[in-house]
A and B are shown apart, each in its own frame.
Chain A
Amino acid sequence: MSIYLYPVLFGIVCGIISRLLMLRTDYRQYPTYLHGKIIHIALGFIASVLGSIAIPSLIEGNITATTFLTVAASQFREVRNMERNTLEQLDQYELVSRGNTYIEGIAVAFESRNYLVIFTSMATTLSFILFDFWVSIIIAIACIYLSRLLMDGGKLSDICEIEYVKPHFEGEGLYVDNIYIMNIGLPERQEEIMKYGMGFILTPKNFNANTTLANLGQRQAILHDISTALGIYKDSGTPALTPLAKRDLEDGRVGIFVLPQIRDIDKAIKVIGNTPTLENAIRMPTERKKQEGGNRNDA
């Protein structure tokens, strides 16, 4: 029996545990079905096997064996493509779509989780071989904690203040506070909107937040999350009841107009606050300004 059997097995187990902990059906509402989960657990297993075996290969001097990690990298890039394609297909049939920015964020998260699994398996196998079982348990816990920490992004409540404002009409124009949302021509629809509609104003806390909130993908993510969490008063053939988010050009505030089935203001504010700030939407113009102060030629 190989001396590496237990370290490798332990590395694989830790990798799978790490993947299982990261595979939760959360705010993204995906994957919700069993087969989708099996795909990710199987890929997590492959990632953990690769991570665990890499260490004994290196110790035994079999340097070329580590090149299969590059095969793993291209394999997991395929995972990203798979997620993107699946979600794009599903998005066409959503009443309130996720939007491409959100989908790209989810696809990237799925790819990066597999790399975190490889890292966990490598670290635990290495510590098992170099030290002993108990040290590797501590390393495994640290790796899993680190993975969770790395997978948690920022929330919208960190970058803006959220307040409820009842939507109103000025003529045919629908407004949330002073932000123009859209023109609703039919009195019938106006009545429905006044009955079921809710408005929220997101006030950015700083200039970076202002630019992040301006991103159309970020706004679509907010609309998708709130419509998924609280339900939506809408069907196909009633596009006038589509939730919208518009921006005040003066100060960067964003007016959110939604028609949820559960009209609980506190819950809605909480859901909006818990919407993730999308990696692809985050902008930091102030960082650029700081750099400009130091060196103006590094454009």
Chain B
Amino acid sequence: MTLEKVILAVLTTNPKKAPSGVAVFHCDNETEMYRIGANLEAILDGIAHKLTEEIMIIVKH
């Protein structure tokens, strides 16, 4: 089964803004967020989209 057009993971540097119901990766800073984001992009075959300075999502299109 392939999940498409759904948020597969959320990366955030601000725990207060993390949503529920989805895998959330709490990152210490932006550099760590980008590093984990790049890994998740390759693993999940999705695209990392940046919504705000503190939140990134991984979506498979």
A240 CB contacts on chain B under 8 angstroms:
41, 47-48
Interface with B: A96-104, A155-163, A181-189, A208-216, which one?
A181-189
A239 to B38 alpha-carbon distance, docked (Å): 11
Please state if A239 and B50 are interface contacts (CB–CB under 8 Å).
Answer: no
* A234 CB, nearest partner CB in chain B, Å: 12
Select B38's contact among A172, A188, A236, beta carbons within 8 Å.
A188
* A230 CB, nearest partner CB in chain B, Å: 23
Q: Specify which of A188, A236, A242 lies most central, judged by the most chain B CB atoms within 10 Å of its CB.
A: A188
Residue of A with least CB distance to B57? A185
Please state if B49 and A236 are interface contacts (CB–CB under 8 Å).
Answer: no
B49 CB contacts on chain A under 8 angstroms:
172, 183-185
B17 CB contacts on chain A under 8 angstroms:
none
- The proximity string for A residues 161-190 relative to B, scoring 1 for CB distances below 8 Å and 0 otherwise, is 000000000001000000000111111110
Knowing A239-B60, A239-B61, the reply to whether A184 touches B45 (Cβ < 8 A) is no
Select B37's contact among A182, A185, A237, beta carbons within 8 Å.
A185
Select A186's contact among B37, B45, B57, B60, beta carbons within 8 Å.
B37
A188 to B56 alpha-carbon distance, docked (Å): 14
Knowing A172-B50, A182-B47, the reply to whether A238 touches B42 (Cβ < 8 A) is yes
Please state if B42 and A186 are interface contacts (CB–CB under 8 Å).
Answer: no
Within 19-42 of B, Cβ neighbours of A (below 8 Å) are at: 34, 37-38, 41-42
Select A185's contact among B42, B45, B48, B60, beta carbons within 8 Å.
B48
A185 to B41 alpha-carbon distance, docked (Å): 10
Q: Specify which of B41, B46, B57 lies most central, judged by the most chain A CB atoms within 10 Å of its CB.
A: B41
Number of interface residues of A (CB under 8 A): 15
A182 to B38 alpha-carbon distance, docked (Å): 17
B46 CB contacts on chain A under 8 angstroms:
239
B38 CB contacts on chain A under 8 angstroms:
186, 188
A110 to B42 alpha-carbon distance, docked (Å): 39
Please state if A237 and B48 are interface contacts (CB–CB under 8 Å).
Answer: no
Please state if B34 and A186 are interface contacts (CB–CB under 8 Å).
Answer: yes
A184 to B51 alpha-carbon distance, docked (Å): 10
A240 to B44 alpha-carbon distance, docked (Å): 12
A189 to B42 alpha-carbon distance, docked (Å): 12
B50 CB contacts on chain A under 8 angstroms:
172, 183-185
* A99 CB, nearest partner CB in chain B, Å: 15
A239 CB contacts on chain B under 8 angstroms:
41, 45-47, 60-61
Please state if A185 and B61 are interface contacts (CB–CB under 8 Å).
Answer: no
Residue of B with least CB distance to A241? B47
Q: A-B pairs with the 8 shortest C-beta distances?
A: A185-B50, A185-B48, A183-B49, A172-B50, A237-B42, A240-B47, A185-B49, A185-B56
A residues contacting B by CB (< 8 A) are: 172, 182-189, 236-240, 242
Q: What are 16 inter-chain pairs, A to B, with CB distance below 8 A?
A: A172-B49, A184-B47, A184-B48, A185-B37, A185-B50, A186-B37, A186-B41, A188-B34, A189-B48, A236-B45, A237-B45, A238-B41, A238-B42, A239-B41, A239-B45, A239-B47
Contacts beyond the supplied A239-B47, A239-B61: 16 A-B pairs with Cβ under 8 Å: A182-B47, A183-B50, A184-B49, A185-B37, A185-B48, A185-B57, A186-B34, A186-B48, A187-B34, A188-B34, A189-B41, A237-B41, A237-B45, A239-B45, A240-B48, A242-B61
